Chain A
Amino acid sequence: MSLSPVVQPDKFVHEPARLAILTVLSGCKSAEFLFLQRATQLTKGNLSVQMSKLEEAGFIEIDKAFEGKKPVTSAALTAKGARALKQYWEAMDEIRRRGNGKRS
């Protein structure tokens, strides 16, 4: 009897706040910081920290611009981020599929 390798979802993506940010950004070209804050229900500080981590990992791009005198921060998913999110959901689906297989 051979055991199939254990499927490991990316723990970095699995973190709820980062997963929410990536999910939102996967549905659009870019989103403003305020929208991300409303969508994820995170505080400004928490959201900033998570966005910085995602940017460091190369999963998102952050753009800081001015509209008149008002600073506007927006973020967009990179190809690497999109790939990581896709792989994450594939891993989760695989785990669920194996779980269902064992139960039946």
Chain B
Amino acid sequence: MERNARDDLQGLIFATLNLRYLRGLTIVPFGIWMALFPLLGHMTRWSQLGAGAGLLIATVLAVISTRRLNRHYDERYGRVEANHRRGFPGAGFGVWGAVFIVLTVQGVHGVPAVALWLAALFFGIYMSSSGYRWYYLVLAAVFAGLTPWWVGIGDWQAPLLGLAFALAGVMDHLLLRRLLPVHGESEAAPSVA
């Protein structure tokens, strides 16, 4: 009983500290946008619509969807004002993003393999440090495993990253739902007498 109560309180603190980052569905449109990126690039081949116009429409749709999802989270879970600026997840995404920019610009051969592995390890451990977001460790391991073939997969780079973002977003959302379950208003709430 005591252990459960403590676990619940730890979950509450985690959800409070990370609410902004647990609103995972907001990242899904961006992930889909990335996943569709190569498709948009080839759009001129099968449509009168130029690639630029397709990209613009997809970007606008992603932004609108993200804004709506943000509003949905506001209305469903309320908002929390953080009391301090946390490095999370900026540091994790920052390191990982920098690695992929270097990879894109220089190619995988321009980056020492050990740097890629360390970046993946840092990202995975950093994002899953609380124990609640273990799936970031799995995603990081998958990408670390993929790095030797990163150049070879060519057009699949952006879709893979996009799908990983979308998957992480869905997992974050499911975690939020588990930590802060939403019951019907008519459902009996615990007594506080």
Please give the residue numbers on chain A whose beta carbons come within 8 Å of chain B beta carbons, in ascending order.
Answer: 15-20, 23-24, 26-43, 46, 49-50, 74
Query: 10 closest Cβ contacts across the A-B interface?
Result: A34-B78, A35-B78, A27-B16, A17-B192, A32-B78, A29-B83, A43-B189, A29-B81, A38-B180, A28-B80
B17 touches A (CB below 8 Å): yes
Main secondary structure of the interface of A (DSSP, over half): helix
A39 adjacent to B17 (CB under 8 Å): no
Q: A26-B13, A28-B16, A28-B17 are in contact. Are A16 and B80 (CB under 8 A)?
A: no
Contact of A46 with B189 in the complex, beta carbons under 8 Å: yes
Given contacts A29-B81, A31-B81, A35-B78, contact A46 B192 (CB under 8 A): yes
User: Contacts of B185 on A, CB cut-off 8 Å?
Assistant: 43
Q: CA–CA, A61 to B179, complex, Å?
A: 25
| A-B pair number, CB within 8 angstroms | 79
Interface centre among B12, B82, B192 (most CB of A within 10 A): B192
Specify which chain A residues have a CB less than 8 angstroms from the CB of B80 in the assembled complex.
28, 30-32, 35
**Are A42 and B16 also in contact (CB < 8 A) when A19-B9, A28-B82, A32-B78 are?**
no
Contacts of B93 in A (CB 8 A): none
Pick 28 A–B contacts, CB within 8 A, sort by A: A17-B190, A20-B8, A20-B12, A23-B12, A23-B13, A26-B13, A27-B13, A27-B17, A28-B17, A29-B81, A30-B81, A31-B16, A32-B79, A32-B80, A35-B77, A35-B78, A36-B78, A38-B78, A38-B182, A39-B12, A39-B15, A39-B16, A40-B12, A41-B183, A41-B189, A41-B190, A42-B190, A43-B189
